[in-house]
Structure 1
Amino acid sequence: MTLHAPPPLDTDLQLHQHEDGLQLKHGEQLLASARPYTFDMEIPAAPSLQEAEEAQQRFVGVRHDLPGCFVCGTNRDAGDGLRIFAGEVCEHQERVAALWQPAADLADADGNVASEYLWAALDCPGFFAVKPVSDMALLGRYSARLEQSVQAGETLIVSAWAISHDGRKHNAGSALFRSDGQRVACAEATWISLKR
């Protein structure tokens, strides 16, 4: 998925088939486009539960540029948003991790966490992995792959790492793992540094 413009909130949008993919529009304005994507990235093994728990104590978003963010916003109370605060893993400056227990209200009737919340959980940690180089950046391109279902209340390890930096473009990978290190989802993202 490539973002072309900020999507408005609480607004009906239109999804259209286009060539080999989809386009998301608001009237005639193109907001996002999506096409099939093949992952070709190396995914590091999961940090341990202890490493992830310790890493979130080093979360650098305490002075947050977007404190209302649904995923990592520090102005969100428990039960309001995901509250994933990924911090530096040990001595790895461009690798972050956190623990996440999806709440019951994020799940369907079978107790499986809805896919949009898993996609969201993979998003912001990638930014914090590239932040030491990117400074403030916005998501430009994002691809995710959900490999297994996740039950509400399950403890997950969220991990993200920097892949590359090229001027204002910063590529990051992220993954969700069960507590035993088994991967359930992964994502690749391009973050674009803002001109200050």
Structure 2
Amino acid sequence: MAQIYIPARFNGPPGTGNGGYVAGLIAAHMRQAGVSGAVEVSLRAPPPLETALELVVAGEGCECRHGEAVVVTARAAGPLGPVPAAPSLEVAAQGRAHFPPVEDHAFPGCFVCGPARTQDGLCIFTGKPHGFDGVTDVWTPGGDYADDAGLVREEVLWAALDCPGAFAVGFRERPMVLGRIKGQVARRPEAGAPLIVAAWHLYDDGRKHGAASALFTADGDLLAQTEQLWIELK
């Protein structure tokens, strides 16, 4: 039995934990328990903030519980699909100019993509550039997101790969929330270096939308990737 705790800073929609951040916390625990490779995390209910949540890891799966309620489940998963070649740093930087303004953002206080969080958020503002079929931005993680070895923490990398997927499938026009995310971190980068964030559309099925995202070094080396299921709000 273990616990995870989501500080209020790391929110997604108001009053709940950012889905990617929560998934990364759980994936890190599963890796410590001996699970290798990709992890698939399903959000069953909005993860509460400022609350100790019980994490039960059994074999290659786990449940995250708030009292008797199951909030998140996770399991070891098969390999993720191929990713496209990384856009150049110059192309990726163009995406930010096409990010929606604060008045058009459904969750402007989101830790990852909220334009109202320029002081204490990740400020990953992905938009469509010229030269890449998806959305992009350049992100330089600060030292406060690193561990004692200077490497960016796993939960922060998962968070950085969360919201870009929503913008790749049309979050601005149809607000949605994360239902499932499957991811794998190949290598954690050092804080302080610019990274390329990219995401692209996979499919649409009614109110369900599929996206994928990836994090690259400035030279285009793949660091981490995810595949996501987004649920359009009614």
For the criterion TM > 0.5, the same-fold answer is yes
- Which stretches in structure 1 are left out of the alignment for 5+ residues? none
Distance 1:81 1:182 in 2: 25
State how 1:64-143 maps to structure 2 within 5 Å. Answer: 64-78=105-119, 80-90=120-130, 95-131=134-170, 135-143=174-182
Distance 2:101 2:222 in 1: 26
State how 1:13-92 maps to structure 2 within 5 Å. Answer: 13-18=53-58, 20-60=60-100, 62=102, 63-78=104-119, 80-90=120-130
- Whether the 8 Å contact between 1:67 and 1:73 is mirrored in structure 2 is yes
Distance 2:77 2:204 in 1: 21
- Whether the 8 Å contact between 1:102 and 1:152 is mirrored in structure 2 is yes
> Structure 1 residue 55: deviation in Å?
1.2
Paired position in structure 2 for 1:180:
219
> Which amino acid in 1 is paired with 2:188?
S
4+ long deviations beyond 4 Å: none
> Structure 1 residue 47: deviation in Å?
1.0
Moved more, 127-136 or 176-185: 127-136
> Which amino acid in 1 is paired with 2:61?
G
Distance 1:77 1:47 in 2: 25
> Structure 1 residue 40: deviation in Å?
3.7
- Whether the 8 Å contact between 1:134 and 1:192 is mirrored in structure 2 is no
Q: Deviations over 1:34-65 (max 9, x none)?
A: 00111342311111111111111111253211
- Which stretches in structure 2 are left out of the alignment for 5+ residues? 1-40
Q: 1:132 to 1:108 in 2, by over 3 A?
A: closer
CA RMSD of aligned residues (A): 1.7
- Whether the 8 Å contact between 1:61 and 1:85 is mirrored in structure 2 is no
- Whether the 8 Å contact between 1:96 and 1:129 is mirrored in structure 2 is yes
Q: Deviations over 1:101-140 (max 9, x none)?
A: 0001101111101101000000000000001697111100
Distance 1:127 1:12 in 2: 28
Paired position in structure 1 for 2:13:
none
TM-score (norm 2): 0.78
Paired position in structure 1 for 2:203:
164
> Structure 1 residue 77: deviation in Å?
2.3
> Structure 1 residue 76: deviation in Å?
0.7
Q: 1:119 to 1:161 in 2, by over 3 A?
A: same
Distance 1:148 1:17 in 2: 24
TM-score (norm 1): 0.93
- Whether the 8 Å contact between 2:100 and 2:172 is mirrored in structure 1 is no
Distance 2:111 2:145 in 1: 13
